[in-house]
Amino acid sequence: MVVIGADGDGNWHPKVLEALDYAGDWLRVNGEAIYATRPRPGQLWKEGDHIRFTRSKDKRTVYAISLNHWPGKELVLKTVAVEPGTEIHMLGCNESLTWRMDKRGLVIALPEALQAEANRPCKQAWAFKIQSCSAAK
């Protein structure tokens, strides 16, 4: 168990403050994928070691969170099927992402600009908002 708090003199360790700031920064970008969401049913809450999912209460939005592994030029999701007209965004970016369905599943293209680490909205655990998809259940 990890306890976060001040020491006996009321001082916070700088590393604790740094971690709390980092968590707050991440939640400002990605909190939508966490707060007021639900797990996908059964084993659909994850794909492999690097992807975790949440969904909106109304089941119209799935959030795919790529944990500590930047997906590269495309993110492939095997358990998410989408309908024509589905909108996909990376949280923290205004640009709509292009996608296609192929034999591997849902393939989301990640823009060249995001390949540079400095251009990403956060340092890890990038969240993708997939609206109006049929696999949100």
Q: Is 98 a residue whose pLDDT tops 70?
A: yes
User: How many residues can be counted in the chain?
Assistant: 137
Predicted local distance difference test score (pLDDT) of residue 134:
56
Q: Are 131 and 82 in contact (CB under 8 A)?
A: no
Phi, then psi, of 74 in degrees rounded to 5: -150, 150
- The mean-pLDDT minimum among 1-5, 68-72, 76-80 falls in 1-5
pLDDT attached to residue 79: 95
Amino acid 1: pLDDT: 61
What's the mean pLDDT in 90-118?
96
Enumerate residues 6+ apart whose C-beta is below 8 A from 7.
13
Would you state the pLDDT for residue 7?
83
The pLDDT, as a whole number, for residue 137 is 45
Give the CA diameter of the chain. 60
28-76 pLDDT, tens digit per residue, is 999 999 999 999 999 999 999 999 999 999 999 999 999 988 999 999 9
HSE (CB half, 13 Å, CA atoms) of 135?
22
Q: Which domains does the chain have, with CATH numbers?
A: 14-133 (2.60.40.1180)
Q: Cβ distance 129 to 80 under 8 Å?
A: no
pLDDT at 133: 54
